[in-house]
């Protein structure tokens, strides 16, 4: 079963013939990608899953992860942006009770946060993984220093057995690993952070958390075969990219990913990063945001329904029921008896359907992505689908989806304030 895409729009902002014509026109971008345009050669290591997540790579990761899994109570993932988002998305959604608790550091510079984190490590067996492509980013840099000191204080010389570093070969992190006897994993040179899920970067922390990374890689691989080989008219990534760019042309500047399973919260953060950082440049791009319904129906929902018509929604509809909780009748007349014997799953589905109906009825263009199940296999498919779609969409928009020049701007001012000298660059 595959992930599917449906367009719901009562006001027909995009007419069928307009869509068909644009889709046909956009096939040239797909062709360009498939014929392996040399333009982005040094950023396309993710396009063929077998390059960094083939069978040997997966077994190597699983073996290393097993050692940590066996010995750790707590595993701290130190990284920011593309270095931690994908692993966190899957771990937060799917980790069950066995295996180490996964904590996150190096993703902010809040003294309060770091102090709280250190408190959680007390009396636990702690392992860490620092992920940074070139090890120049401030957050993981100082996060690592604090944790390194903590581990050395607790474990002395044995601390080095508890540290795994993931960086590019030849980077400062690589040298640090060699000088100190830390385990080292590869951050592929030819993959940018936000596209790095199917490599040591995303897969090692997931494996430590007990996620079935083989299944995840299989999902991505199947999506890859499908997107590379299917009839372009059916190609879900091309269709998605075409819809969103047509909507942008019509003044829908904001894309809101909407879901009713809180399990998808961190996945939506990954998706936001992917599209915002890849497309928001040259004064262009759709602004991606996400909402956690039904909670956010009671806040942002007001704006979506009645505010400016600048938002289109991309709903994620999970098909397979993954949990059941029946509401039983009790002794209090709370006026909710119309829900007696109903399953939370079905109540949530009713809210989903009502929302999508109400929003599309009031003129909000809605896309619906049907996700057969919330498991590793379909996470793998979604990662690959959205990465591929982002490449196509960025090409349609006319931007380079693999750089992030804007991220650099504030850093100059910050380094100035912090007194960084030229030789420490
Ligand atoms: O996608 C990207 O390139 C960024 O989000 C990076 O992953 C992020 O800035 C972290 O960079 P680094 O791994 O160098 O610390």
Note the ipTM here: 0.97
Which residues are the active-site residues?
277, 411
Q: Is 301 in the pocket of ligand 1 (CB under 6 A)?
A: no
Going by DSSP bridges, is the β-strand pair 126-131/74-78 parallel, antiparallel, or unpaired?
Answer: parallel
Pocket test for ligand 1, best of 77, 80, 272, 279 (most atoms within 8 A of CB): 80
Split at pLDDT 50, 70, 90, the class of 423 is low
End-to-end CA distance of the chain: 49
Residue that is written with structure tokens 């960025």 in the block:
394
This prediction has a pTM of: 0.97
Q: Is 140 in the pocket of ligand 1 (CB under 6 A)?
A: yes
For the beta sheet containing 126-131, the strands, ordered from the edge strand earlier in sequence to the opposite edge, are 101-105, 74-78, 126-131, 163-167, 183-186
Backbone angles phi, psi at 255, to 5 degrees: -110, 125
For residues 303-332, give the mean pLDDT: 97
Q: Is 317 in the pocket of ligand 1 (CB under 6 A)?
A: no
The residue contributing the CA closest to ligand 1 atom 8 is 81
Tokens representing residue 388 in the block: 């591929």
Backbone angles phi, psi at 39, to 5 degrees: -50, -45
Q: Is 143 in the pocket of ligand 1 (CB under 6 A)?
A: no
Split at pLDDT 50, 70, 90, the class of 300 is very high
Check residues 425 and 250 and name the one with the higher pLDDT.
250
Catalogue the E-assigned strands of 134-207: 163-167, 183-186
Q: What is the pLDDT of residue 1?
A: 80
CA 160 – ligand 1 centroid, Å: 25
DSSP 196-245: -TTSHHHHHHHHHTT--HHHHHHHHHHHHHHHHHS-TTT-HHHHHHHHHH
**CA separation for the pair 106, 309 (Å, rounded):** 38
Q: What is the pLDDT of residue 389?
A: 98
Spatial contact of 22 and 246, defined as CB atoms under 8 Å apart: yes
Tokens representing residue 207 in the block: 């494996």
Strand partners, 313: 256, 366
Tokens representing residue 103 in the block: 């904590």
Split at pLDDT 50, 70, 90, the class of 422 is low
**CA separation for the pair 83, 195 (Å, rounded):** 9
Packing angle of the helix pair 265-279, 376-397 (nearest 10 deg): 20
CA 398 – ligand 1 centroid, Å: 22
For residues 150-161, give the mean pLDDT: 97
276: pLDDT strictly greater than 60: yes
Spatial contact of 179 and 168, defined as CB atoms under 8 Å apart: no
pLDDT per position as a tens digit, 43-85:
999 999 999 999 999 999 999 999 999 999 999 999 999 999 9
Spatial contact of 89 and 96, defined as CB atoms under 8 Å apart: no
Q: Which atom of ligand 1 is nearest to the CA of 167?
A: 13
> Of 1-15, 29-43, 139-153, where does mean pLDDT reach its minimum?
29-43
Burial of 146 (0-12, 13-18, 19+ CB in 10 A): middle
Strand partners, 291: 258
Q: Which helix (H) or strand (E) holds 290?
A: strand 287-292
Q: What is the pLDDT of residue 404?
A: 92
For residues 169-181, give the mean pLDDT: 97
Q: What is the pLDDT of residue 425?
A: 57
Q: What is the pLDDT of residue 325?
A: 98
| Averaged pLDDT of the chain | 96
Q: Is 205 in the pocket of ligand 1 (CB under 6 A)?
A: no
Backbone angles phi, psi at 171, to 5 degrees: -80, 175
Backbone angles phi, psi at 94, to 5 degrees: -120, -10
391 HSE (CA, 13 A, CB side): 28
Q: Is 193 in the pocket of ligand 1 (CB under 6 A)?
A: yes
Q: Which atom of ligand 1 is nearest to the CA of 195?
A: 1
Q: Is it true that the peptide bond before 294 is cis, omega within 30 degrees of 0?
A: yes
């Amino acid at each position: 079963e595959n992930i599917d895409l449906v367009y719901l729009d009562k006001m027909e902002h995009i007419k069928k013939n307009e869509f068909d014509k644009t889709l046909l026109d956009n096939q040239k971008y797909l062709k360009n990608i498939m014929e392996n345009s040399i333009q982005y050669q040094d950023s396309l290591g993710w396009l063929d899953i077998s390059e960094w997540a083939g069978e040997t790579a997966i077994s190597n990761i699983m073996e290393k992860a097993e050692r940590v899994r066996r010995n750790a109570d707590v595993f701290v993932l130190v990284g920011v942006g593309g270095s931690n988002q994908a692993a966190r998305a899957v771990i937060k959604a799917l980790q069950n009770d066995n295996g180490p608790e996964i904590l996150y550091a190096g993703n902010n510079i809040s003294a309060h946060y770091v102090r709280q984190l250190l408190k959680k490590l007390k009396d636990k067996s702690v392992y860490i993984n620092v992920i940074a492509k070139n090890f120049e980013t401030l957050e993981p840099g100082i996060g690592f220093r604090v944790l390194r000191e903590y581990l050395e204080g607790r474990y002395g010389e044995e601390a080095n057995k508890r540290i795994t570093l993931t960086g590019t070969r030849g980077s400062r992190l690589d040298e640090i690993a060699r000088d100190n006897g830390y385990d080292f994993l590869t951050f592929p040179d030819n993959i940018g952070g936000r596209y790095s899920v199917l490599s040591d970067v995303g897969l090692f922390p997931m494996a430590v958390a007990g996620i079935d990374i083989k299944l995840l890689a299989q999902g991505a691989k199947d999506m890859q075969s499908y997107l590379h080989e299917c009839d372009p008219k059916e190609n879900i990534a091309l269709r998605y990219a075409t819809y969103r760019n047509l909507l942008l042309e019509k003044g829908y500047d904001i894309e809101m990913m909407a879901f009713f399973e809180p399990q998808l919260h961190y996945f939506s953060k990954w998706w936001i990063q992917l599209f915002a950082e890849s497309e928001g440049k040259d004064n262009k791009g759709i602004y991606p945001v996400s909402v956690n319904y039904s909670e956010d129906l009671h806040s942002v929902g007001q704006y979506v329904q009645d505010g400016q018509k600048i938002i289109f929604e991309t709903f994620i509809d999970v098909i397979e029921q993954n949990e059941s909780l029946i509401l039983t009748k009790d002794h209090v007349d709370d006026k909710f008896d119309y829900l007696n014997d109903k399953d939370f799953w079905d109540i949530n589905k009713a809210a989903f359907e009502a929302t999508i109906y109400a929003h599309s009825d009031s003129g909000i263009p809605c896309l619906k992505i049907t996700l057969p199940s919330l498991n590793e296999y379909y996470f793998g498919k979604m990662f690959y689908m959205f990465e591929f779609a982002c490449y196509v969409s960025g090409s349609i928009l006319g931007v380079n989806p693999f750089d992030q020049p804007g991220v650099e701007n504030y850093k100059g001012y910050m380094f100035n304030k912090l007194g960084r000298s030229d030789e420490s660059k």
